[in-house]
Amino acid sequence: MAHAWPDNRFTALVGCAHPIVQAPMAGAVGPAMAQAVIAAGGLGSLPCGMITPEKALADAATVGGGPLNMNFFCHSLPEDSDPTAWRAMLAAYDADYAPDYSAPPPPVRAPFGEAMCAVVEQVRPAAVSFHFGLPDERLVGRVRASGAKVIGNATSVAEAVWLAERGCDAIIAQGLEAGGHAGWFLPAHPAARLGIFALIPQVADAVQVPVIAAGGIGDARGIAAAMMLGASAVQMGTAYLHSPESLISAAHRKALASEAARRTVATNLFTGGNARAIPNRLIDDLGPVNGAVPAYPDGAAVIAPLRRAAEAKGDPAFTPLWSGQSAPLCRSMPAAELTRTLAGEALALLNGDAR
Amino acid sequence: MAHAWPDNRFTALVGCAHPIVQAPMAGAVGPAMAQAVIAAGGLGSLPCGMITPEKALADAATVGGGPLNMNFFCHSLPEDSDPTAWRAMLAAYDADYAPDYSAPPPPVRAPFGEAMCAVVEQVRPAAVSFHFGLPDERLVGRVRASGAKVIGNATSVAEAVWLAERGCDAIIAQGLEAGGHAGWFLPAHPAARLGIFALIPQVADAVQVPVIAAGGIGDARGIAAAMMLGASAVQMGTAYLHSPESLISAAHRKALASEAARRTVATNLFTGGNARAIPNRLIDDLGPVNGAVPAYPDGAAVIAPLRRAAEAKGDPAFTPLWSGQSAPLCRSMPAAELTRTLAGEALALLNGDAR
């Protein structure tokens, strides 16, 4: 590579060549994608929020040759969520889809705890990123002692400052453009969420550690722009969803390439959490946000039978078609080739080659 | 200036030195600000959506020495808006503020028509920008025949394509971060609005004419980033609201510098239109969006007596404290100095001087 990145604070921190983090998209990313990104000089990520510690350990063991990021959730489990009203609303679809309510529920999204911390201590990844805040101080200390850099996720300046005060080594500035779940954890009005364009420089001004921009970055123009705004790296999800390594369904892949991907919405219908998705039948029928859905993550279990029944027919009517606002900018390309291409194009833009 | 801008398509189109458009903020901008921006090499704008043709003509006559942009609204007036429910809700505040309901209502925001078109033909500005779509084809033709470049405002790719098909010479890509009124005019779900980071490259890919990025751009980092994303220019509003030339109240100026400016929301409470503002008492009490508010622009007349009564006490409880998401990034500086400073800093960033 003829050019150098204008900011090497993040690449030096975790030891990768390019300031590109492949987003840990739970359910859509396995070790093959992480390995491909690492091989191309980016930071590959393994999403561990929806798998068992055994699976996380086994997956991580297959990845090597460069820095790995392991990602975990740190939500609090709701104590008193009541699924009754939401079940009743979804019953309107039973005649069409005949869901099997006796099937076992999907595994609950579990917050990071002792067992996963032991996995981190065994794997010793270069980085560990947390979504929805941080685990307790003792667990963070053990992660740090394992040698991993600790990365937090902020959707506001207040969250970024909170994470920096607790010793995070780098902070993701997640704009509202991001696909999947918004990682917010401090009280805030959803209407006040920031676009990444305003968020990056405000976070960069508020904290001393490197900032990783996330949300709405689909191509090299976005990487170059994020660095102009003060980011030291980017985290890209939707771009990698398009790659052959992504584990999404054919219906999800088709939706990403459809006109509907131009009008993603923040919805709570699939899990109870605020997450960006491409509109499908459920969102079109009920609107993107409904007060009857039990709090995250309990909403996921309620819709599971209906989702399974529809998916068995290849119908994504109740499937969360996660996507950021960048879908129309993305190209379908193997993850390693995508990483190298994005890096080369962004370096050219940042160095004025394309002018 | 030692450096050249990487893209001169917009500056060449309207004849200014810097690709910086001062946003035409109705009620906050008079000819002094437009003149200062023009003198510094930017495109100064006169907002004409809330003034009479006589005032527009008189204001324009005081501005010279470079390219001027005149801005107009193209909304349809609602035919059957019913203020009853909204009046009833606002009555809860009557005891506190004792509004005078017999005072004459404020002038209605009028869409661009014959009289204003005649003003354009007399003033012959370098550019005319329209908000909320375009006027009818015949009026657009007369504006173009006067010599003015026609600028449309898009909040989506679909709107950008619509404007390009109707011959606009440049298109503003307005992200949801923008302060004041969103210029949308084609049917769309408010939840599907795009952040500017994802919007700029998608619009740049969809149209051939120069793109002007608007929303969330508060400093030189934003200018450089917008150009990386494919914009040929930027339109900045909140940055100029902070300048001494801005006509906003002391209370508005104070709000822009407050912590509340970090959590602006899109609200319909002040006019019926979707517009971004700093939360005040009314928003805190009712939430940012209420279905009882009559359609734009009729909502403005309903709240006017209460607003006037509160403002007479210096209380902005019912005043629209318009602001984009960039307020915390902005510096208070005279408009000419701000324009020159932003241009110099952005050029340095784009040319790697600051690295």
DSSP string, A244-287: TT----HHHHHHHTSGGGGG-EEE-TTTSS-EEE---HHHHHH-
Which chain A residue shows the shortest CA-CA distance from B225? A225
CA distance B279 to B267: 9
Q: Is the dihedral of CA A330, A334, A340, A344 positive or negative?
A: negative
Does any CB of chain A come closer than 8 Å to the CB of residue B59? no
Instruction: Give me the mean pLDDT over the A226-254 stretch.
Output: 97
Mutation target to probe the A interface, by most A beta carbons within 10 A, among B157, B174, B228, B286 is B228
pLDDT on residue B2: 60
Task: State the pTM of this model.
Answer: 0.97
Confidence at A2, pLDDT banded by 50, 70, 90: low
- Written as six digits, the tokens of A225 are 């722009």
Render B265-322 in DSSP notation, one character per residue. Answer: EEE-TTTSS-EEE---HHHHHH-S--TTSPSTTTHHHHHHHHHHHHHHTT--TTS--B
* High-pLDDT (> 70) share of chain B, %: 99
Is pLDDT of B141 > 50? yes
Cβ under 8 Å to A: B residues 116-135: none
Instruction: Give me the mean pLDDT over the A316-320 stretch.
Output: 97
pLDDT on residue B238: 98
Using CB atoms, which residue from A197, A218, A262 is nearest to B177? A197
Residue B171: strand pairing partners: B152, B211
Does any CB of chain B come closer than 8 Å to the CB of residue A230? yes
- pLDDT tens profile B55-84: 999 999 999 999 999 999 999 999 888 999
For A220, counting Cβ atoms within 10 Å of its Cβ (0-12 exposed, 13-18 middle, 19+ buried), the class is: buried
Does any CB of chain A come closer than 8 Å to the CB of residue B291? no
Is pLDDT of B219 > 90? yes
Instruction: Give me the mean pLDDT over the A298-319 stretch.
Output: 96
Contact between B329 and A202 using a beta-carbon 8 Å cutoff: yes
Three-state DSSP state, B178: coil
The amino acid that residue A240 corresponds to is Y
Is pLDDT of A355 > 60? no
Confidence at B354, pLDDT banded by 50, 70, 90: low
Cα distance from B47 to chain A (closest Cα, Å)?
25
Does any CB of chain B come closer than 8 Å to the CB of residue A205? yes
Cβ atoms of B229 and A228 within 8 Å: the answer is no
Instruction: Give me the mean pLDDT over the A127-152 stretch.
Output: 98
pLDDT on residue A104: 87
CA distance A133 to B293: 37
CA distance A45 to B164: 41
Is pLDDT of B276 > 60? yes
ipTM: 0.96
Instruction: Give me the mean pLDDT over the A332-344 stretch.
Output: 98
Partners of A221 on chain B (C-beta within 8 Å) are 201, 228-230
Instruction: Give me the mean pLDDT over the A216-222 stretch.
Output: 98
Instruction: Give me the mean pLDDT over the A271-285 stretch.
Output: 97
pLDDT on residue A348: 96
Confidence at A1, pLDDT banded by 50, 70, 90: very low
Contact between B218 and A196 using a beta-carbon 8 Å cutoff: no
Partners of B289 on chain A (C-beta within 8 Å) are 191
Confidence at B1, pLDDT banded by 50, 70, 90: very low
Contact between A229 and B216 using a beta-carbon 8 Å cutoff: no
Q: Is the dihedral of CA B266, B56, B171, A173 positive or negative?
A: negative
Is pLDDT of B342 > 90? yes
pLDDT on residue A354: 55
Cα distance from A348 to chain B (closest Cα, Å)?
11
Cα distance from B325 to chain A (closest Cα, Å)?
6
Cβ atoms of B185 and B163 within 8 Å: the answer is no
